[in-house]
Chain A
């Protein structure tokens, strides 16, 4: 049985790099623009350029390539499943037919494209969480949502919820790992048999996990109340966010790259 990898989506790895030191608002906006860009392109060459762009960002962040790639491991099943669904259910010119299963050229292309898009999405988002501490991320999100506050938008509460969710991903993976080990030590077979047997075998893992999750949620709520947490009103920051010219340059380069690549994809390569 292979246990859960601890270095996963949501983990922050501190380092002294351009990407780490950038303003979280710039990083969040940049990531959203990059993710939009990944879904705008349709040509194989454009995907190669995105891969090079990703490599450039990884090198600038001083994280190891293996570490960033490893963060996509937990969602690989989802990526493959999405690709597989596109293989099977996209109409078009059939490449081959086996009973009611029909694989088309368009299905293969769409499957590969959607798989790659999801993979890029996860990797770019991972770089954001690997290089931004949960606190910075919350501050950045709150600041970005703040223009909506006059319309009754709960900017602080939403940012806090997202931060807590991100913060608890590694913790819950640790808990899952511990419970899985405890049940394996009692002879549970979690990776044997057909899909139904495997799902059934996970009941001894899921029930204790739910109990722990609710317990932790309650403990956290009590701890926050005990420290007089009452939302964002009147709250000041120990380290106020400061936008630098480097952040402007980084964001402009990202927007330009996405715009140029989308333009080339539509006009020149198609």
Chain B
């Protein structure tokens, strides 16, 4: 059970003056219960990649397979793929349309032809997961705060029971506490067995929560590996638009000055090692 991408290429407006190579030579695999983060500067192709995972865009070269289903515009299983891979767009609250929150969250399962009893169950589960109780059911989604709207939008994707969840810049515009809540929610979903693909330009966030990180630069795959691999790679070569977190830079500086400390993004680990060294 995985999403496999091999040599993906996508060009916008081919053959016109606005021709832009959005993605080129992308190879990666995402498994269930795995957290992959895609990082890159604005215009690096992150959102284009996200739309390929949900069969909204199709590769012009290379292949993408979701649980062995090949993504092709002629495939009859595209709806199955869209159900398996939930996609939360950037500013998902802008997709809200229903009169009540219940109808909004029930939109996806109803579209997949789920029976009304199961729809009710899924709506309840999805809203509980994002921290909204039954008192919200009959309220209008347009009268909620920004953070609540985003939670409803994420619940409206979760209610389709996806196996993988792709989130395009989900923390954009959220305050620190909203961001923390959202990361907690995603960690819980991964524990429940979902594969998480987080698209962000925030390297600190990526290093803190991912098992694997893909770094994109101008549509090309620069690094794909564990957070440690990515730190190594970014220390060797600066990537346009990406800045290593201060704690990584500091641990690297200490290491270069001859101190035996791990080069890490984990500030608590670094503090612990330094305290131990001071004690000794």
Contact = CB atoms under 8 A, between A and B. Distances in A.
Interface of A: 3, 6-7, 13, 15, 63-64, 66-67, 178-179, 181-189, 203-205, 207-208, 211-212
A208 B87 CA distance: 17
Interface string B90-126: 0010111110000000011001100000000000000
Interface in B51-101: 51, 54, 56, 79, 82-83, 86-87, 89, 92, 94-98
A15 B96 contact: no
Nearest to A64: B16
Given A7-B16, A211-B142, A187 B160 contact: yes
B157 interface: yes
A229 to B, nearest CB: 27
Interface of B: 12-13, 15-18, 51, 54, 56, 79, 82-83, 86-87, 89, 92, 94-98, 107-108, 111-112, 142, 156-157, 160
B89 A178 contact: yes
Given A13-B18, A64-B16, A66-B15, A186 B56 contact: no
Chain A to chain B: the 10 pairs with minimum beta-carbon distance, closest first: A187-B111, A207-B97, A182-B95, A185-B87, A186-B108, A204-B97, A182-B89, A181-B56, A187-B112, A185-B54
Contacts of A3: 56
Contact of A67 (B17, B56, B86): B17
Given A204-B95, A208-B96, 7 more contacts: A7-B18, A182-B94, A182-B95, A184-B82, A187-B79, A204-B98, A211-B94
Given A6-B13, A13-B18, A187-B111, A208 B56 contact: no
B87 to A, nearest CB: 4
A179 B79 contact: no
